[in-house]
Amino acid sequence: MTLINDLLNTLPDREVSEVIIGLHWTAVVTGVKEGRYCGLATTYSEPHDHHEAADVPNAGELETVNGLVLATNAQSDRPVMRSVGIATINSLLIQNDLNLVDQNAEQAIAAHGEGKKVVLVGRFPFVPSLRKTIRDLTILEIHPHPGEVPASSAQDVVPAADVVAITGMSLINHTFEDLLNLCPPEAYVIVLGPSAPLSPVLFDYGVNLICGSLVTKIAPVLRAVRQGANFRQVHRVGVRLISMAREDNKDQ
C-alpha cells in the first residue's frame, strides 16, 4: 500500500516496551519511562485451523525489535500482524505538539452531513443516534445487518455521496485506498475510529478530517485490552476522542 509506505517514512523510532493482542483491540506501547505512548488498532483475525501456520510467527518476541521494524507489519499477509503494525504506527505518531480538537466521530459526521448524502463505511455504536440527524445515511458493512448495505456495493454508493466516513479498520484489511478512489473529488472525507492514524499524510490522499483517539491512561487501558474489553470499556478507563483537520478545513 502506497499510503502505508508514506506513513512509515514519516515515523520517528522508539523502543517497543509492550505488545498486547486482545480479543477486540491490539495495543502497542513505545518509549520508556515518562515518554511512553500507546497506540490502538482493531484486532483483525480470520477463521483458521489451529494446525495452520501461526497467526503471530514471533509470538513472545514482538518486544525485541524497535518500533519502526514492528510497524512494517502493517503490510503483513497475516491479518493479526497488520493490527500490530497499525497499532505501532499509531503509537509512534503520538507527539506532544499534535494539533488536536476534542471532537468525536459522531459529532463530526453530524456537523458535516446534515442535509447531505452520507456513506459510513463500518458499523459504529452511534449509528442509531446518528440516524436521527442524518436522514440520508447508508451503512456499508462486510457482514451487513438489516438496514445496512454489503461492503461489496461500495462502488455503487460511495461515488454518489457528499460525505464519506471510512473506518480506520480499512487500513488493516487493506481496503482503504480502494475506498478513497471511489470518493468523488468534492466529497468531504472522514477517517474514524481508534485505528485511524493521526497523521497529515492522510490529508495528502484527499482526507479532510481524522477522528481518532489518544490513550491518556496507559496502565488501565492495557489491563482492559488484556481482559477482552470492547471500545466503550477501553474508552471509559483512559482514552480521549479527538479530531485532526486538514489546514484548509479547520473553519468548515
In tens, the pLDDT along 50-66 reads: 667 788 999 999 999 99
The predicted structure's pLDDT at residue 207: 98
Distance separating alpha carbons of residues 250 and 243, to the nearest angstrom: 11
Segments making up each domain of the chain, as ranges = 2-93, 105-215
Please give the grid coordinates belonging to residue 102: 476534542
Residue 242, C-beta contacts closer than 8 angstroms, at least 6 positions apart: 100, 101, 102, 103, 198, 211, 212, 213, 214
- Please name the CATH architecture into which domain 2-93 falls: 2-Layer Sandwich (3.30)
The predicted structure's pLDDT at residue 184: 96
Residue of 32 and 236 predicted with greater confidence: 236
pLDDT at 108 over 80: yes
The predicted structure's pLDDT at residue 250: 57
| Percent with pLDDT over 90 in the chain | 87
Protein fold of 105-215: Rossmann fold (3.40.50)
**Hey, what amino acid is at 175?**
T
Which range among 31-35, 137-141, 161-165, 172-176 shows the weakest confidence by mean pLDDT? 31-35
Please give the grid coordinates belonging to residue 55: 497467526
In tens, the pLDDT along 133-163 reads: 999 999 999 999 999 999 999 999 999 999 9
User: Strands 16-21 and 25-30, how do they pair?
Assistant: antiparallel
